[in-house]
Amino acid sequence: MTKLMLVWDYDTPIARITATKPYNYVFEACLEEEANVNLILQSARELGAKYTFAVVGFGAEKSVAPFDVRHVVQKIAAEGHEVASHSWKHEWLPFLTPYQLEKTVERSKFILEDCIGDNYQVKGFVLPHDRPMSWYSKLAFSAGDRAVYPVFPGASIGGVAGYLQKHNYRWVRVNYRPLWQKLADWNGESQKLRFNRQFYSSGGFHFVPEHAMEFGQNTLDAVQWAVKHNKPLVIAGHPGAFSFRKENLDNFKRFVDVVGNHVNKKEIELTTISDYLNLQEHGR
């Protein structure tokens, strides 16, 4: 059965200030993101799905509405979904000093676990902005990171992974292309190559590929490809994106219909990243 993993990048309202086009701040969009998380939770009940939510840590800090989303984080965990970290305030990791990099990794995990309680353990990390895309030891270089490793440890996936391992994370979602792959496929990575990106593990730590993003036709193609070849598939989505364009919510509804058919035929199971990795490690 194909294992489908939806990873939601839950940026929370603080990221509208610290990261994404801060001068386009729209208050209503902050409220809509939270409403969209509720729609997503509803879809999980319909599909019998478990999702992974990578939450910006500041949302789990005690503050004021709409920035304080502790009640949402608690609801996500209570419904059996995985909560991962999406950094503390959606920083551009390649620009951080070693101290800042360590603190965003450490503080986000601490505060999310504190918010959920019950000895919950945050195991996953999703890179804000999908950066860095460089991974020096894998000969993957992206000028778009705009900083150079090892002057900046956050400018290489390997550098970030070192801090994550130190703080007992188990996985990170990555998006990178080695030089040889870029050269072999200079005209842009083909869909099939991207759908077939592999999981990679080193010393018990896992690098999780991103196969598709949002819920347009490309993602539907990825689902059909994964079912046909019986491959695991990781899809990245953003609750905030549903409000950005109406088409995005329509696409998600279509996606739920398509996936629901596969679920009924027992061709797809929607699971969390950590449950999938446990299955790979222990065969349970």
What is the C-alpha to C-alpha distance for residues 180 and 139, in angstroms, rounded to an integer?
8
Q: Is 283 helix (H, G, I), strand (E, B) or coil?
A: coil
What SS3 class is residue 1? coil
Could you tell me the smallest distance in angstroms from the CB atom of residue 15 to Zn ion? 6
- Count, residues near Zn ion per rule CB under 5 A: 2
Instruction: Tell me which residue has its CB nearest to Zn ion.
Output: 9
Task: Report the site for Zn ion in 115-174 (rule: CB under 5 A).
Answer: none
Q: Which residues make Cβ contacts (< 8 Å) with residue 154, sequence separation at least 6?
A: 93, 94, 95, 96, 101, 132, 147, 160
Using CB under 5 A, which residues numbered 2 to 21 contact Zn ion? 9, 11
Question: Is it true that the peptide bond before 150 is cis, omega within 30 degrees of 0?
Answer: yes
Shortest Cβ distance from residue 265 to Zn ion (Å)? 33
Q: For residues 38 and 257, is the Cβ–Cβ distance under 8 A?
A: no
Beta bridge partners of 63: none
- Do the Cβ atoms of 138 and 79 come closer than 8 Å? no
Closer of 49 and 84 to Zn ion (Cβ): 84
Single-letter amino acid code for the residue at 40 = I
**Nearer CB in complex with Zn ion: 9/106:** 9
Q: Compute the least distance from the CB of residue 191 to Zn ion, in Å.
A: 23
The CA-based angle 96-98-103, given to 5 degrees, is 80
Is residue 210 within the footprint of Zn ion (CB under 5 A)?
no
Of 215 and 225, nearer to Zn ion (C-beta) is: 215
H helices of 48-93, in order, are: 70-78
**Pick 233 or 241: Cβ nearer Zn ion:** 241
Give 89 or 197: the residue with its C-beta nearer to Zn ion: 89
CA nearest neighbour of 93 among 144, 139, 160, 143 = 160
SS3 14: helix
Write down the least CB distance from residue 178 to Zn ion, Å. Answer: 24
> Shortest gap between Cβ of 128 and Zn ion (angstroms)?
5
Evaluate the omega torsion of the peptide bond into residue 178 and state whether it is cis, within 30 degrees of 0. Answer: no
SS (H, E, C) 84-113: EECCCCCCCHHHCCHHHHHHHHHHHHHHHH
The smaller minimum CB distance to Zn ion, of residues 11 and 34, is found at: 11
**At its nearest, how many Å lie between Zn ion and the CB of residue 230?**
30
CB of 219: closest distance to Zn ion in angstroms? 18
Shortest separation between residue 73's beta carbon and Zn ion, angstroms: 15
Stretch that binds Zn ion, among 1-9, 60-68, 247-255, 274-282 (CB under 5 A): 1-9
Which residue, 127 or 256, is less far from Zn ion as judged by CB? 127
Nearer to Zn ion, 176 or 225 (CB): 176
Q: Which residues bind Zn ion (CB under 5 A)?
A: 9, 11
